[in-house]
Amino acid sequence: MPNTNNIFGFNLVELPRTGIKPFQLLQQYKNNKVSTISLLSELFPHHTLPLPAIKQQKTSNNISDKFKLNLNLEAKVKLFNGLYRKFANADASAKFSKEDEFVIVAEDAVIKEITSLNQLNNYINDAKLTPDLTNYEKPLKKGNIFIITSIITCKKFAILLANKNSLNMNAGTEIKDIASLQASVDISKIREKLIVHSGEEDLVMGFKAHKLRYDKKFWQSKDQAKYSLIPTDHIGVLRDEDLPVEALNTESGSIIFLDNEE
């Protein structure tokens, strides 16, 4: 079992979905909204340097404390109701309390992530922007384009919005899977605050993405712009976790995809 610290820093996908994968490019808008653009290799084609490989590993099942959502009651209710409509095909009618918190259990959750940010940076440094996609130069200049570098995916999960009075748990009780979660829930109190989903497709629960940096000095107007993940003035090779790269994140820790599947 890998160290659960590996999944700190992930953004929660407000409506878990398919179609999110490493090397995908996102454009960030105001608040917590993003849209998908293309794969990195489509915007920045390359014929010599390879992209880094993708590795995968299992993670701990109870991932609720790793997303660290910071939501007020109105936002919690809106988020939960959206999930309830999608996965329970109904509207939640339960009464919500400001003490209610999210508990997310993703059974057999898997992290898929690129193996080297350094190698990814080298690829971007040496690639050229596709001419027919130069309409993204403006959001690139503003720092609004990000590359997905890691995802959390699973087929079966439970989402619970409840306070401690609804959980029959002792101090030493551990939620290991959906069965143990349901055994710890007072169903009479929480019937319409519990979502359990099980399907054939892997749904992405969360992701990490890093900013695609644009560098072109005004006096270099005849030169091609430079692109990177790592600041161009950085010297030396560091481990991925120590690199000076900027990640996509929001105040709440959750993300809405404007092209979300319905």
In a domain, residue 144? The reply is yes
| Residue whose C-alpha is closest to residue 255's, from 8, 25, 14, 9 | 14
Residue ranges making up the domain that contains 239: 4-257
- Whole-number pLDDT of residue 172: 57
pLDDT mean values, one per 10 residues, the chain (262 residues):
51 93 94 90 84 90 78 88 89 83 88 93 85 78 93 93 69 74 78 88 95 73 76 76 85 85 46
- Whole-number pLDDT of residue 31: 79
Size (the chain), residues = 262
Q: Rounded to two decimals, what is the model's pTM?
A: 0.87
In a domain, residue 232? The reply is yes
In a domain, residue 75? The reply is yes
Q: How many CB atoms lie within 10 A of CB 36?
A: 17
In a domain, residue 262? The reply is no
In a domain, residue 223? The reply is yes
Beta bridge partners of residue 198, listed in sequence order: 156
In a domain, residue 139? The reply is yes
Residue with tokens 């939620």: 175
Q: How many CB atoms lie within 10 A of CB 86?
A: 17
Dist CA 112 CA 117 (whole Å): 14
Contact 247, 9 (CB under 8 A): yes
pLDDT tens for residues 133-142?
A: 677 878 988 8
Q: Where does residue 155 rank: exposed (0-12), middle (13-18), buried (19+ CB within 10 A)?
A: middle
pLDDT tens for residues 231-260?
A: 877 777 777 777 888 899 888 889 999 976
- Whole-number pLDDT of residue 227: 86
Maximum Cα interatomic distance, the chain, rounded to a whole number of Å: 69
Number of compact structural domains in the chain = 1
The DSSP output letter for 78 is: H
- Whole-number pLDDT of residue 169: 60
Q: How many CB atoms lie within 10 A of CB 146?
A: 23
Dist CA 212 CA 210 (whole Å): 7
Strand, helix or coil for residue 151: strand
Beta bridge partners of residue 194, listed in sequence order: 160
- Whole-number pLDDT of residue 4: 36
